[in-house]
Structure 1
């Protein structure tokens, strides 16, 4: 069994890991225009979700879609940083890596859009179609 000081060290390391992760999100938000766009979109979607009084399962789908988009955007940012580090000059493979990472964000964002249309679309249509 682990000793008391060792357990506290492990807990501190875990807490530090969360701190590094939050710093990464903060740095990405400060440097990436697309991520700031996603942040604004997230706030709008959450507000619309409260307005439309989403069911729990709908919130789950919205949360998964938002989380997937944020994750893809953060991974894209990391790929771009690594590629810029290892290949400061233009190289076709570096460009391909960046394009593929950006394509992953596009695919996830389009899937999130479909989720949004399926969940919010009927409700918004009813609001606009009212006489």
Structure 2
């Protein structure tokens, strides 16, 4: 950040790659959540289709708890990845701003937001 003309493009491209990775993970999590919802909501003539997909399933209540737990995990992963995208986008704008470059609190603020975005990405992964 000390020389935005030399390293500014590299920083923005690196953060863009992190945003793309978070977007892919968020899309995958919400897609899997919707697929789990479809499996749980469909039934066939011989009983619940979802109960045949779960290994070791003995009761429909246990099956529902398993699917709800998996669904909850994917929804939390989606939300964490969205927060990661939010922080990375904020850092991308802050890293390319030419003002306040010499001030220590500005650099700490940018680093803190970058660390938060990385933390949310790790949790979402």
Larger radius of gyration: 2
By relative contact order (CA 8 Å, sep 6+), the higher-ranking structure is 2
Which TM-score bucket, shorter chain as reference?
0.3 to 0.5
TM-score (norm 2): 0.46
TM-score (norm 1): 0.45
